[in-house]
Amino acid sequence: MLSSTTGSPLEDTEFLVRSEHRVKALGALARRPQSRADLRTRTEVSRSTIGRTLREFEERQWIRRDGHQFEATQLGAFVASGMQELIERIEIEHTLRDIWEWLPSEASGFTIEMASEAVVTDAGADDPYGPVNRFVSLLRKTDRFRFVGYDVALLEPCKDELSQRILDGMRTEIIDPPSVAKYVLAAHRDHCSAPLESGNLTVLVHDNVPSYGVSLFDDRIAISGYNPDSGTVQVLLDTDASEAREWAESTYEAYRRGARPFTLEPTVE
């Protein structure tokens, strides 16, 4: 039996992650037995490198050899699983790092895990209307739409599309701050009158809506981050994850319970 190395947990972690091929090799061995040739194909490293890696794995008792095949031990599979989970966490963190400030805080009940499979559309210099365009694409695929928040910059650019979808039968409920509702309904009275008269649009007002927007579609939910300095939507994050859906439904209903109807004031002749 090979003797175990005396490296610390951090040293073993550093050994594994210092070269990408080691993570790939251990992960492959945890899934099923592999030959040296199999591992060389998967990792695209030289014969000597894969041989050295296998010896180092054996020294740590992460793998065992059976003829020309190698497979992970229970210890090796345990390490491979934990490393894959860590990599997935870092990938999510990389996706959210530059946009996290625009998303709901932990105090709201929103968690990073809820965004693990989300589509993130950021307003970059090359596509400043990317979040709005993504929002419109989701709007076209839903028969029911609900929104709470302050994102005039999200709804106003697509007012024509939104109005037509409502007239076509999309049931819509929007919870705005009173000032935003007054602005939208005054500035775009022609766009709002027909949807309101159709019976498909309900506008509610709440004095303390979140700084972000929460949109609920048939199959997905979206969170939009509004930048008050630039007056633009900085990011749209949308997902069909069940936990995120539960959070969005709960958040929306909490604001709805505290909201009140808003009516369109008659035009003064």
Residue 268 has pLDDT above 60, yes or no: no
Q: In this predicted model, what pLDDT tens digit does every residue of 4-40 receive, in sequence order?
A: 555 789 999 999 999 999 999 999 999 999 999 999 9
Q: What is the pLDDT of residues 105-128, one digit of tens each?
A: 888 999 998 998 899 999 887 888
Predicted model pTM: 0.79
Residue 267 has pLDDT above 70, yes or no: no
The closest alpha carbon to 167, from 199, 139, 138, 137, belongs to: 199
37-46, 89-98, 257-266, range with the lowest pLDDT? 257-266
From 28, 61, 92, the end of a domain falls on 92
Same domain, 131 and 252: yes
Average pLDDT rounded to a whole number, residues 175-204 = 87
Is the domain of 36 the same as that of 86?
A: yes
Measured distance CA(144)–CA(168) in Å, rounded? 11
Length of the chain, please?
Answer: 269
16 is a domain residue:
yes
Q: How many CB atoms lie within 10 A of CB 99?
A: 19
Provide Rg for the chain, Cα atoms. 26
State whether 49 and 87 are in the same domain.
Answer: yes
Q: Into how many domains does the chain fold?
A: 2
Together in a domain, 16 and 118: no
pLDDT at residue 254 greater than cutoff 80 = yes
Confidence band for 68, pLDDT divided at 50, 70 and 90: very high
On whether both 154 and 235 belong to a single domain, the answer is yes
Cα gap 101→205, rounded to integer Å: 25
Mean pLDDT of 69-97: 92
Q: Given pLDDT bands bounded at 50, 70 and 90, which one contains residue 1?
A: very low
Does residue 181 sit within a domain?
yes
Q: How many CB atoms lie within 10 A of CB 196?
A: 18
Gap between the Cα atoms of 129 and 89, Å rounded: 29
Higher pLDDT among residues 167 and 232, named by residue: 167
**Same domain, yes or no: 193 and 236:** yes
DSSP letter string, 73-103: -HHHHHHHHHHHHHHHHHHHHHHHTTTGGGS
Longest distance between any two alpha carbons in the chain, whole Å: 95
Residue showing tokens 């300095």:
229
What does the alpha-carbon distance between residue 99 and residue 122 come to, in Å, rounded to a whole number?
8
Give the pLDDT confidence of 216-227 residue by residue, as tens digits: 999 999 999 988
Position 140 confidence tier, pLDDT thresholds 50, 70, 90:
very high
| 20/119 same-domain check | no
Whether 98 maps to a domain, the answer reads no
Q: The domain containing residue 224 runs over which residues?
A: 111-261
Measured CA to CA, the distance from residue 29 to residue 222 in angstroms comes to 39
The mean predicted confidence, pLDDT, of the chain is 90
Structure tokens at 75: 């210890």
